[in-house]
Structure 1
Amino acid sequence: MKIDLTGKTAVVTGSTLGIGFAIAKGLAEAGATVVVNGRKQDAVDKAIELLKQAVPGANVRGVAADLATAEGCAVLAKAEPSADILVNNLGIFAQQDFFDVPDEEWTRFFDVNVLSGVRVSRAYVPGMVDRKWGRVIFISSESGLNIPKDMIHYGVTKTANIAVSRGLAKRLAGTGVTVNSILPGPTLSEGAADMLRDEVAKSGQTVEQAAAAFVKQHRPTSIIQRAATVEEVANLVVYTASPQASATTGAALRVDGGVVDTIA
């Protein structure tokens, strides 16, 4: 199977680092024109430079905008008014006990993890419908199915991603636009590496070893018994964005290493 996205424009939110950057790279390698996004211009510029180095000849643009706000979403839509592929990747996470999470933090997580995707989808999907082709992908998490006790507020927003994706897929039935959610498990992104920094320093382990130990302790149902790489997550996203995935819509696709203990 050869995935060819030549002629397609892909907007990937929150794509200056981590899973988002890996998704942008994978889409560029498949021939798509890629629009990267981050809050700060210098981060966006650096990501564009790195992508062009990694994928010679890639057509990459960028928009600096804070998509946690309606104003930031409007900035993105004005700068890049059309997209064939939209990856709603922007998200934040943090380990925090339920009783220590104030209202303001619940609101911040909802704005970043849920409303950003809602607003950006509202901006881009009508054009996809007019062209009778489009791909919308929400990056959720296995935590949306298996709510972690130490990140309840995060898990709730990831469940919301799955719900929005499923509902929007049904709303767009017969239009040629597919909508799916991708559910990574523990993934060794820059954010995860930062979370493990103290453990790495204390134990003398590599970050990969520390991540595997974290998975075994906190996600013992993992079948692969390690953290996934950002590239492994990106590979599923690129396929889901492809013409070959035309019969896949309304799905919650897991790339969680088997953490969710179910056969369905």
Structure 2
Amino acid sequence: MDLNLTGRRALVTGSSSGLGEAIARLLAAEGAEVVVHGRDETRTRKVADEIGAVAVAIGDLATDEGADSVAAAAGEVDILVNNAGSYEHVGWAEATPEAWARTYEVNVVSGVRMIQRLVPGMRGRGWGRVIQIGGGLASQPIATLPHYNASLAARHNLAVSLARELAGTGVTSNVVAPGAVLVDAVQELVTAIAPERGWGESWEEIERNASHDFVPNDIGRFGRPVEIAGAVAYLASPYADYISGATIRVDGGTIRSVY
């Protein structure tokens, strides 16, 4: 299926590895002119070369200076995918106020910086897409990772507010909310804790048992990065012209809600 993305310029933040890399790869395969972003120049350029990206943007989006550099390198962007983010794997006792502030800066304000720098151009051209990578923990938080849960909720909230702001402009704002996605860091974590949880020895056993105990869902496995990338590519396409302020959950049924 041709998603009619040829000629559209897309910036995927945090696309030098993991989920962001998968999104950048699929958008490039669909004909978009992709800008690959990262903080590690060697790794970022490697991905850019592999997918035939039109540009590389290096910078720390948690700073105004970094955001300025990335926006300048990206140029006139039609599709902004705010994927970059991180968190420390800690609970309430260890999540200090400083950790909360740092997580909010990296996961929320960094995206705001790129929206404020790139969306005015989209409005002026009368077409654009802003896609936040959110998550099910935004609506159904767990006891651990409280700072991360809250930052995801903020991502969802700002996306809807932005959609209202952009009403009638030809620019849409939406969220893709993955469940547990099988990127390298997740596989390493799950494999490390598998022995104490009794999840088995082979990866097939570990994934099946972990997806039942750790992140229960109806499919019985972790999501693959390309499956989340597919939802992003759809929202970036003209086929999603009538979708704004929405959340598309790609989580195997982990979050169970009628609405």
TM-score tier (shorter)? over 0.9
Matches within 5 A, 1:1-264: 1-51=1-51, 58-199=52-193, 203-206=200-203, 209-220=205-216, 222-264=217-259
* 3-state SS, counterpart of residue 158 of structure 1: helix
Separation in 1, partners of 2:148, 2:130: 21
* 3-state SS, counterpart of residue 93 of structure 2: helix
- How far has the Cα of 1:205 moved from its partner? 2.2
How many residue pairs are counted as aligned between the two chains? 256
Q: Name the aligned partner's letter for residue 89 of structure 1.
A: N
- CA contact 2:55–2:73 (8 Å) conserved in 1: no
- How far has the Cα of 1:93 moved from its partner? 3.3
Separation in 2, partners of 1:132, 1:218: 44
Q: Name the aligned partner's letter for residue 247 of structure 1.
A: Y
Q: Say if 1:210 and 1:68 are closer, same or farther in 2 by CA, change over 3 A.
A: farther
Residue ranges of structure 2 left out of the alignment (5+ in a row)? none
TM-score (structure 2 length as normaliser):
0.94
Q: Say if 1:211 and 1:73 are closer, same or farther in 2 by CA, change over 3 A.
A: farther
* 3-state SS, counterpart of residue 5 of structure 1: coil
- CA contact 1:188–1:211 (8 Å) conserved in 2: no
Identify which range, 18-27 or 99-108, moves more after superposition: 99-108
- How far has the Cα of 1:213 moved from its partner? 2.3
Q: Say if 1:78 and 1:60 are closer, same or farther in 2 by CA, change over 3 A.
A: closer
* 3-state SS, counterpart of residue 100 of structure 1: coil
Alpha-carbon RMSD across the aligned residues, in angstroms, is: 1.5
Separation in 1, partners of 2:89, 2:208: 18
Identify which range, 79-88 or 176-185, moves more after superposition: 79-88
Separation in 2, partners of 1:11, 1:209: 37
What fraction of aligned residue pairs are identical, expressed as a percent?
38
- How far has the Cα of 1:197 moved from its partner? 3.8
Separation in 2, partners of 1:235, 1:131: 25
* 3-state SS, counterpart of residue 263 of structure 1: coil
Separation in 1, partners of 2:92, 2:4: 45
- How far has the Cα of 1:113 moved from its partner? 0.6
Q: Name the aligned partner's letter for residue 165 of structure 1.
A: A
Runs of 4+ in 1 over 3 A off after TM superposition: 199-203
- How far has the Cα of 1:201 moved from its partner? 7.5
- CA contact 2:36–2:47 (8 Å) conserved in 1: yes
Separation in 2, partners of 1:194, 1:50: 25
Q: Name the aligned partner's letter for residue 13 of structure 1.
A: T
Residue ranges of structure 1 left out of the alignment (5+ in a row)? 52-57
Separation in 2, partners of 1:215, 1:94: 22
Separation in 1, partners of 2:66, 2:188: 26
- How far has the Cα of 1:68 moved from its partner? 1.7
- How far has the Cα of 1:252 moved from its partner? 1.2
Deviation digits for residues 202-241 of structure 1 (CA, Å, limit 9, x no counterpart): 84321x5433322211223x11121000000000000000
- How far has the Cα of 1:70 moved from its partner? 1.6
